Amino acid sequence: MSKTIFRRFLLSLLTIILICTLTFFVMHIIPGGPFQQKKLSDVTREALNERYHLNEPLITQYFLYLKGLLKGDLGVSITDGRSINEIIRLSFPISCKLGLAAVSLALIAGTVFGTLAAYQKGKFLDKLILFLSTFTTAIPSFVLSILLLFVFCVKLKWFPIWSIHSPSYVLPVLALSMYPMAYTTRLARTSMLEALGQDYIRTAKAKGLSSGKVLFRHALRNSLIPIITFAGPEIAYIVTGSMVVESIFNIAGIGSSFVTAITARDYTMIMATTLLLAILMVIMNLICDILYQVIDPRIRYD
């Protein structure tokens, strides 16, 4: 097990380096630059390019970035001149709190709803849950965010509009969690139906175990692997990629900073966000690999 994790770690490290390299070169190959669309004099533009080493050859810029990265320095934002480390230190905890709350709600509620739908297969509750989950997956997150903001903040005034001084995570968490909750519901239902048709479930029922024990102790545990497979990357995406929801609710998280960086061609901020997403994705995949064996000891990687 330890050798397998070590090999996965080395492969993950290679993956991060590859993503970092591809992002860097593709980003610089695209025509244009952070200062070309601004009304600046040629002298000012040349001074800015020199300050951020954009006048250097591309391969030199790449090795300068790697040199700073090895020292833990992610560079300086071209947009506002602040350190990327400082921006992440201030904005990432907000996105992390928002994303983890949304993922927790989505996974717990989705698993419960999917389990109930499978247990009530073909009945009214099953059809209702399937309809609601299908309907929810068809609504884009930005539409749902605007709808929640308009109804509960503007019209009903049940929640304040989000601000750093009076943060209200209820509506952003709901907007972020609806799609993964609906997807988890359908995934849990399908996986649970497959588990309920296995021989060990019929054996458990023949032994006289209650429906609750059969459903949650035996069937649910063996149907969690597809949910875990989905949950790993989803956590990384929501924590770092909640840019639309953060922009609508005016949340100063890492997602809104990424949107600003793309529009401003802020190379260092784009690199930092991509690198952060890659690291989170690798970590979550490693955790998923470990959880597979915890849930089902029959799984072996050697």
pLDDT in tens, 91-103: 888 888 888 888 8
Q: Could you tell me the residue ranges of all domains in the chain? A: 88-295
pLDDT in tens, 168-188: 778 888 888 888 899 899 988
**What pLDDT does residue 109 have?**
92
Residue 65: is it exposed, middle or buried by C-beta count within 10 angstroms (0-12/13-18/19+)? buried
Per-residue tokens: 31: 């025509």
Neighbours of 193 (CB within 10 A): 16
Query: How far is CA 21 from its chain centroid?
Result: 22
d(CA 302, CA 298): 12
**What pLDDT does residue 80 have?**
75
Helix 254-263 and helix 84-119: axis angle, to 10°? 120
DSSP 227-243: HHHHHHHHHHHHHHH-H
Neighbours of 20 (CB within 10 A): 19
CATH number for the domain running over 88-295: 1.10.3720.10
Neighbours of 119 (CB within 10 A): 20
**What pLDDT does residue 164 have?**
61
CA proximity to 140, closest of 245, 230, 247, 231:
245
**What pLDDT does residue 163 have?**
63
SS3 122: coil
d(CA 70, CA 271): 14
d(CA 261, CA 75): 14
CA proximity to 103, closest of 231, 13, 207:
231
Q: What is the pLDDT along the chain (302 residues), one digit of tens a residue?
A: 567 777 777 888 888 888 888 888 888 787 777 776 667 777 777 787 777 777 888 888 888 888 888 888 888 888 777 888 888 888 888 888 888 888 899 999 998 898 888 888 888 998 999 899 888 888 887 788 888 888 888 788 787 776 666 667 788 888 888 888 998 999 888 888 887 777 777 777 777 776 667 777 667 777 777 888 888 778 877 776 577 788 788 787 787 777 777 777 888 888 888 888 888 888 887 787 777 777 666 666 55
For 30-81, where are the alpha helices, taking DSSP H only? 42-51, 58-70
In what helix (H) or strand (E) does residue 223 lie, and over which residues does it extend? none
Amino acid code (one letter) for 158 = W
- DSSP letter assigned to residue 150: I
Residue 135: is it exposed, middle or buried by C-beta count within 10 angstroms (0-12/13-18/19+)? exposed
Query: How far is CA 83 from its chain centroid?
Result: 24
Residue pair 15/275 in contact (Cβ under 8 Å)? The answer is no
